[in-house]
Homo-oligomer: A and B are copies of this chain.
Amino acid sequence: MRPTTKDLAKEAGVSLATVDRVLNGRSGVKERTIKAVNEAIEKIGFVRNMQAANLARSKSYRFQFILPDTGGEFRNMLLASIKEANHSFSSESTAAQGKQIAVNDPHAITNYITALSVDDVDGVAIMAPESPQVRDAIARLSERGIEVVQFLSGQPKASKVDFVGIDNHAAGSTAGHIMGRFLGPEPGKIMVISETMQSRDAIERRLGFDEIVNSQFGQLSILPSLETYGNENRTNLIIRQCLENNPDICGAYIMNAEAQLPVTAIDQTADISQMVLVAHERTTFTEAALRDDRIDAIIAQNTGHAVRSAIRIMRARHEQREPFASQETIRIEILLKQNL
């Protein structure tokens, strides 16, 4: 049987109330007594029964995911994953909710974050480009006792807040490796397409991609990144121009989550079956495109896993536990037709 607070009290030679004060960091306990209790915890291997604790506290967790209000299918997949996670966490009395904010407007997101209170929410997972204002707002959130994780976007290491998502540099490298190996020894040019190159994520992917291709596949040369700004006409135009100006294009790396416009544009201008296309993120479009060979490989991250991971991390932090790191790494998945 697992030792209970009662056993712990007996072992430490104090009362239940004192044990409670120590465990929950309440005041009015002498240093010496605290130490005695902690030693007893070590000695008998006491682990708090969080279920009983949450029951007694009748605590339930409320988490929010702050997502861009723009963005098509991938954003919808995230929302769906949140809903699903919500379902699978319902038995642990934790609820998650997706909020769509104009994340590219630092003012809007800062306003939203600043208005959040511990009464509304226990933690937020934020998917937004970095900016000093946002960073500040996030820091103030933490100070107010709201847990924060950076979600899918942002820098893993630089900040103190937890990050959930893939290493974009490694993801770019992976894409570059696939591209190089799939293309073979023939020389050629590679088109790189992104919605924008403003975001750190895009920059890192591009860096990783370039690094591998330039160092290991010297026969290939990478063209400057094309920015679509998510606009259909512009996408069609710049891709057509690029293909016409470079008849020796043999591959395309589509860096942003919405691959539909670029892939369609390429398909309309060139013989897509002769090219190697690598895209990011699993959506119904990329899946279909992989199936009918318009795309050759997808670099993806498991959104369901990412959402659950963010929730688990926020909960662990809230309970002042360390998250189990090994379970929370989001893997860079390579999807081919066969392992969809």
- A93 in complex: contacting residue of B2, B178, B212, B302, CB < 8 Å: B2
- A326 in complex: contacting residue of B52, B304, B333, CB < 8 Å: B304
Within the complex, the shortest CB–CB distance from A179 to chain B, in Å, comes to 11
- A54 in complex: contacting residue of B51, B84, B333, CB < 8 Å: B51
Q: Are A51 and B93 in contact (CB under 8 A)?
A: yes
A91 interface hit (Cβ, 8 Å): yes
Q: Are A326 and B84 in contact (CB under 8 A)?
A: yes
| A interface residues, how many (CB within 8 angstroms) | 43
A185 interface hit (Cβ, 8 Å): yes
A338 interface hit (Cβ, 8 Å): yes
- A338 in complex: contacting residue of B2, B47, B52, B177, CB < 8 Å: B177
A182 interface hit (Cβ, 8 Å): yes
Q: Are B50 and A52 in contact (CB under 8 A)?
A: no
A116 interface hit (Cβ, 8 Å): no
Q: Are A338 and B212 in contact (CB under 8 A)?
A: yes
- A182 in complex: contacting residue of B90, B181, B302, CB < 8 Å: B181
Q: Are B177 and A336 in contact (CB under 8 A)?
A: yes
CB-contacts of A14-59 with B (<8 A): 47, 49-52, 54-55
Give the distance in Å from the alpha carbon of A184 to the alpha carbon of B185 in the complex. 9
Within the complex, the shortest CB–CB distance from A156 to chain B, in Å, comes to 15
- A55 in complex: contacting residue of B52, B308, B337, CB < 8 Å: B52
Q: Are A178 and B324 in contact (CB under 8 A)?
A: no
In the complex, identify which listed stretch (A66-74, A123-131, A167-175, A188-196) lies at the interface while the others stay far away: A167-175
Chain B residues closer than 8 Å to A241, beta-carbon distance? none
Give the distance in Å from the alpha carbon of A331 to the alpha carbon of B282 in the complex. 13
Give the distance in Å from the alpha carbon of A170 to the alpha carbon of B332 in the complex. 19
Give the distance in Å from the alpha carbon of A331 to the alpha carbon of B308 in the complex. 16
Give the distance in Å from the alpha carbon of A158 to the alpha carbon of B88 in the complex. 27
Q: Mark A269-302, 1 if CB is under 8 A from B, else 0.
A: 0000000000000000000000000001000001
Chain B residues closer than 8 Å to A308, beta-carbon distance? 327
Q: Are A177 and B337 in contact (CB under 8 A)?
A: yes
A87 interface hit (Cβ, 8 Å): yes
Contacts A212-B338, A339-B170 known; A327 to B88 CB distance under 8 Å?
A: yes
Q: Are B174 and A91 in contact (CB under 8 A)?
A: no
Chain B residues closer than 8 Å to A51, beta-carbon distance? 51-52, 54-55, 91-93
Which 5 A/B pairs are nearest by Cβ-Cβ distance? A332-B339, A51-B51, A173-B338, A334-B334, A184-B184
User: Which A residues fall within an 8 A CB radius of B?
Assistant: 2, 47, 49-52, 54-55, 84, 87-88, 90-93, 170-171, 173-174, 176-178, 181-182, 184-185, 208, 212, 296, 302, 304, 308, 324, 326-327, 331-334, 336-339
